[in-house]
Chains A and B, each alone.
Chain A
Amino acid sequence: MLAATVRVAGDIDLAEECVQDAYARALATWPVSGIPTKPGAWLTTVARRRAIDHLRQRNVRDRVLQGLYVVESEDGVETNITAMSDDRLRLIFTCCHPALSSEAQIALTLRLLCGLTTSEVARMFLVPESTMAARITRAKKKIVAARVPYRVPSSDELPERIDAVLTVVHLLFTTGHTAPGGSELVRRDLVERSLVLARMLRSLLPDSPDVAGLLALILLADARSRTRVATDGSLALLSDQDRSQWDAAEIAEGLSLVREALQRRPPGRFALMAAIAAVHAEAPSWSATDWRELVGLYELLVRIWPSPVVALNRAVAIGLAEGPAAGLVALDELTTEPQLASYRYLAAARADFLSRLNRLDEARDAYEVAIALTDNAVEHEFLALRLAAIVS
């Protein structure tokens, strides 16, 4: 409804105001006139009419500054699903425009597509509401002043712009999957929002292999979420998880999407990440995991996405395929990466391989580094237990 109103209003603030007006009018009139047969459509129509009235009232100078988008003719009750989807798709591309900061992209997406209030968005990102309100206001002002367009990008821009949208949804998921701070490992609220958005994208862009890849990735990772924390609240690694508890429906859906995503050559970033998650999902046990397949997938991934974190995962997979000594060599090549210097998983992975090689003094040092670098209480606890096991 908001998306449909923005198309008329050409201004997110005005659209929000009109939507609120529509609700207020519903509260006033529905008890008397009864609830309309299509309440959503009724509200959208009222909101859009309000927007058109507002625009008519604005003076000429205002219109030059704010009336960015063509005011469409009043087309009555919008029951056409395609039209609503189109609006939503436009809104996603506006919210995730690369001209906005990534924090603003996520905040706008949650605010305008998921319908969260500013204070809910603020709580999700552990910042004061005033900070989040300022961030959203600044982004909205930029959208107006710089004329960030409200439309689906042209086909030559589309791949790049879809990637920006997927990056936002993926970041939302990873933030929820392992919360960077706080007492809980998984933030269900963030994970669920990311899943809703990925499904929305899938229905809007059913032919995009990247979208299929992202949805697969989220499903396959989320399928394991129940087993990642043991009943006592401690962290359970992939190697120790009870695989019978994994969500079979999510895995089945994820696997079929991975197959679809991998059909495009060369496969994209999200398709490869999903394929990696699929290898784990299909393995009957940790020891029966196809580590060589994983090394190969990480090698493809690091080629199209040369991130130090991907390189780290590749090194860990090498260690599991060829033994801790080979893994340690691969990890040590990465210790000079400035981006990894303070990355807790590098220290934790080194500690693990060192302790398997019985180099306990070095392992202890590495665990201490990893502990100093983590702010998540569940991860902290896990690393402290590992360290205690070595010391004793």
Chain B
Amino acid sequence: MAEYLLLIHGDESKFSDTDPKAMEAMMEGHNKFAENNGGALRGGNALAPSSTATSVRENGSGGYAITDGPFAETKEALGGYYVVEAADLDEAIAIAKQIPMPFGGIEVRPIRNV
């Protein structure tokens, strides 16, 4: 078995426009996902919007540069994640397909477990 990080990317502008009903439906979707995949799920959560992100980099002269915003500005921002255990990539993809993704998609990354 291996672990995979499932990164949920989505267009936040569409997300914030969403009415409460659609929000509720999405939460419902995540609850259902968790129920159906309880055996594989090792963790996961939703993130606050990327407008709340802060990036830290070494500034090259011994100090740090702290900047407002996510590490990479993209239309589709990281909005949440799950950690799952799966036998192989196909199994991980099959789990990823069940995550609600109305405004984006899922990136499946193997965890190296060093």
Contacts and interface: CB of A to CB of B under 8 A. Distances in A.
B110 A68 contact: no
A89 B113 CA distance: 31
Interface in A205-243: none
Contacts of A148: 88-90
A157 interface: yes
B112 interface: yes
A97 B88 CA distance: 12
Interface string A175-205: 0000000000000000000000000000000
A68 B112 contact: no
A145 B110 contact: yes
Q: SS class of chain A's interface: helix, strand, loop or mixed? A: loop
A153 interface: yes
Contacts of A97: 89
B89 A99 contact: yes
B2 interface: yes
Contacts, number: 26
Contact of A157 (B90, B108, B113): B90
A157 B112 CA distance: 27
A145 B90 contact: no
Say which size band chain A's interface belongs to.
10 to 19
A68 B90 contact: no
Contacts of A153: 90
A146 interface: yes
A145 B112 contact: yes
A148 B4 CA distance: 12
Interface in B1-49: 2
A267 interface: no
B91 to A, nearest CB: 8
Nearest to B113: A64
A64 B90 CA distance: 19
Interface in A146-168: 146-149, 153, 157
A142 to B, nearest CB: 9
A147 B1 CA distance: 10
A157 B89 CA distance: 13
B105 to A, nearest CB: 14
B106 to A, nearest CB: 13
B88 A147 contact: yes
A35 B90 CA distance: 42
18 contacts: A64-B113, A68-B88, A97-B89, A99-B89, A99-B93, A145-B110, A146-B89, A146-B110, A147-B2, A147-B87, A147-B88, A147-B110, A148-B89, A148-B90, A149-B87, A149-B88, A149-B91, A153-B90
Shortest beta-carbon contacts, A-B, top 10:
A149-B88, A147-B88, A146-B110, A146-B89, A148-B89, A149-B90, A147-B89, A145-B110, A147-B2, A99-B89
Interface of A: 64, 68, 97, 99, 145-149, 153, 157
Interface of B: 2, 87-93, 108, 110, 112-113
Given A146-B89, A149-B88, 7 more contacts: A145-B110, A146-B108, A147-B2, A148-B90, A149-B89, A149-B90, A157-B90
